[in-house]
């Protein structure tokens, strides 16, 4: 009987389920978008039940597609959008408010006040993170402060907090857990001692009673409830989406780097068995914990990657489908001097400017939608190039190649421009759904579906290498112009 690992890849705009076989091949896949809610400028919310229902729907769909039942599935692995914050009632299991999404900026002013009070170094020393509204702690504090009675209920243990992995595991199994990679993104977790940190809980006034139990990224944490899949399936792998993608890209050795081109762009370098302190405003974070061993990563985060293309579709209406952007961008030989800085929700690393806003500069009467589409794609690559420059300063390890994945990694024009900007090959793997693959690998290792990480590494295969073709002078000119464009987007909003 053929057996599979079911990966649940819960992303910012869609939920995906993929069945992988023992060779790491995709055997069935299904995805479903769910609504995005923008109640105020800078606010982004999800309905946790819409996330759960969409994830359950696609999981059942892939099982039906292959005509398999729960007996064919050895384990479930979960990869999830990180930092998005859910609070639910332990008795009813219902959320007490919409989930606050990682992109949400409503707590930017509060973070600015904490920085002014000198708290940024404490946060960075303990958690490895920037003091920013991106992370879960200030979102959770906001919910406790603004939902009537929430803080008191939390202190009495009536409420549960979790990132999306916790919410899905709870709905699947009834357990309240999170793995180390997701815990490390809350701004409440000590990445050196590998436990919830009392100083952080005190700083953000978070009751410890509402926190999930922290588990490894690869271990059985429970089995699915009756009625979900016809039989119990172990949930055995959990990782934040970018850590999962790094694992799925087989970046298991120090110095290896991958970039995921999803809603945002996330570049991660394997840093070894100890955290690397960043001096260039990158994040030091937990990668995964497997067999009692913790691996650390150095990370740079871009908030608007593929979401920039979605804006061209939904905001400007210059394309009907995201897949059309490459042809439109290729209709012109270059951007015609147009630069787009997609700081719609502020700028992430290495700038960390929540008050930046999106700009398009360099427009002339000759500019048209082809130039704007090209500038949008190039902006994704420019932002990623900034991350790599900062990363190489921190790690002092010369890059030999960049492994690329995510939906936009299928865009050849973008991948070639990225290689040109970096001056090193960009390598696209056979399986670009590496987030789901990483979750599957972590789950499979826990149940013996795969025996070792070396076995997993041997399965990784290159589909295409994009070699740099741009001269150094042209590269330097483009990067200098990009820097000028970024400066024009900085500090556009005035702090409240």
* Chain mean pLDDT for the chain: 93
Was 74 annotated as part of a binding site?
no
Mean pLDDT of the region 354-375: 94
Instruction: Give the whole-angstrom CA distance, residue 237 versus residue 79.
Output: 8
Whether 484 is in a domain gets the answer no
Is residue 134 within 8 Å of residue 348, measured between CB atoms? Answer: yes
Was 310 annotated as part of a binding site?
yes
Whether 394 is in a domain gets the answer no
**pLDDT at residue number 263:** 83
What's the DSSP call for residue 344? B
Whether 138 is in a domain gets the answer yes
Was 134 annotated as part of a binding site?
yes
Is residue 358 within 8 Å of residue 344, measured between CB atoms? Answer: yes
pLDDT tens-digit profile of 304-318? 888 899 999 999 999
**pLDDT at residue number 496:** 60
Was 261 annotated as part of a binding site?
no
Is residue 338 within 8 Å of residue 481, measured between CB atoms? Answer: no
User: What domain range includes position 186?
Assistant: 4-241
Whether 104 is in a domain gets the answer yes
Indicate if the pLDDT at residue 177 is higher than 90: yes
Mean pLDDT of the region 125-144: 94
Was 471 annotated as part of a binding site?
no
**pLDDT at residue number 90:** 96
- Other beta carbons within 10 angstroms of residue 373's beta carbon come to 28
Whether 360 is in a domain gets the answer no
**DSSP β-bridge partners for residue 219:** none
Was 242 annotated as part of a binding site?
yes
Mean pLDDT of the region 111-129: 94
Mean pLDDT of the region 412-419: 96
Was 16 annotated as part of a binding site?
yes
Was 306 annotated as part of a binding site?
yes
Please state the domain count of the chain. 1
Whether 162 is in a domain gets the answer yes
Which helix (H) or strand (E) is 117 found in, with range? Answer: none
Whether 113 is in a domain gets the answer yes
Whether 478 is in a domain gets the answer no
Q: What is the CATH number of the domain that holds 159?
A: 3.30.420.40
Is residue 153 within 8 Å of residue 88, measured between CB atoms? Answer: no
What's the DSSP call for residue 224? P
List the end-to-end C-alpha distance of the chain, in Å, as a whole number: 61
**pLDDT at residue number 20:** 96
**pLDDT at residue number 432:** 81
**SS3 (DSSP) at 29:** strand
pTM of the model: 0.87
């Amino acid at each position: 009987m053929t057996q599979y690992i079911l990966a649940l890849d819960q992303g910012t705009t869609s939920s995906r389920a993929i069945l992988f076989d023992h060779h790491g091949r995709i055997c069935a896949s299904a995805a479903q978008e769910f609504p995005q809610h923008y109640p105020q400028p800078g606010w982004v919310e999800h309905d946790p039940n819409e996330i759960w229902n969409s994830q359950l729907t696609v999981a059942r769909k892939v099982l039906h597609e292959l005509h398999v039942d729960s007996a064919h599935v050895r384990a479930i692995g979960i990869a999830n959008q990180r930092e998005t914050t859910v609070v639910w009632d332990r008795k009813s299991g219902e959320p007490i408010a919409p989930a606050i999404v990682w992109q949400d900026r409503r707590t930017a002013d509060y973070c600015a006040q904490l920085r002014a009070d000198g708290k940024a170094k404490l946060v960075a020393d303990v958690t490895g993170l920037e003091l920013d509204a991106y992370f879960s702690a200030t979102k959770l504090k906001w919910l406790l402060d603004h939902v009537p009675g929430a803080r008191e209920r939390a202190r009495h243990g009536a409420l549960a907090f979790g990132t999306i992995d916790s919410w899905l595991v709870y709905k699947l199994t009834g357990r309240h857990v999170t793995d180390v990679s997701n815990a490390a993104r809350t701004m409440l977790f000590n990445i050196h001692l590998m436990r919830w940190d009392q100083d952080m809980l005190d700083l953000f006034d978070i009751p410890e009673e509402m926190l999930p139990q922290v588990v490894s990224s690869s271990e059985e944490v429970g089995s699915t409830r009756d009625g979900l899949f016809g039989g119990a399936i172990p949930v055995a792998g959990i990782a934040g989406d970018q850590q999962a993608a790094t694992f799925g890209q087989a970046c298991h050795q120090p110095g290896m780097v991958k970039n995921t081109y999803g809603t945002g762009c996330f570049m991660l370098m394997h840093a070894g068995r100890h955290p690397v302190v960043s001096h260039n405003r990158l994040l030091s974070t937990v990668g995964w914990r497997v067999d009692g061993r913790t691996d650390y990563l150095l990370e740079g985060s871009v908030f608007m990657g593929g979401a920039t293309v979605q804006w061209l579709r939904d905001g400007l209406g210059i394309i009907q489908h995201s897949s059309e952007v490459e042809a439109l961008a290729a209709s012109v030989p270059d951007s015609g001097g147009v630069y787009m800085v997609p700081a719609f929700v502020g700028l992430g690393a290495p700038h960390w400017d929540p008050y930046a806003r999106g700009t398009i500069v360099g427009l002339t009467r000759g500019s048209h939608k082809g130039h704007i589409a090209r500038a949008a794609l190039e902006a994704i690559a420019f932002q990623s190039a900034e991350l790599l420059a900062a990363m190489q300063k921190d790690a002092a390890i010369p890059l030999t190649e960049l492994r690329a994945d995510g939906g936009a990694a299928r865009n050849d024009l973008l991948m070639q421009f990225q290689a040109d900007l970096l001056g090193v090959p960009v390598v696209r793997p056979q399986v670009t759904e590496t987030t789901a693959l990483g979750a599957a690998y972590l789950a499979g290792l826990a149940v013996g579906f795969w025996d070792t990480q070396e076995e997993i590494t041997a399965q990784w295969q290159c589909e295409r290498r994009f070699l740099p073709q741009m001269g150094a002078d042209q590269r330097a000119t483009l990067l200098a112009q990009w820097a000028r464009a970024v400066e024009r987007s900085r500090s556009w909003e005035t702090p409240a």
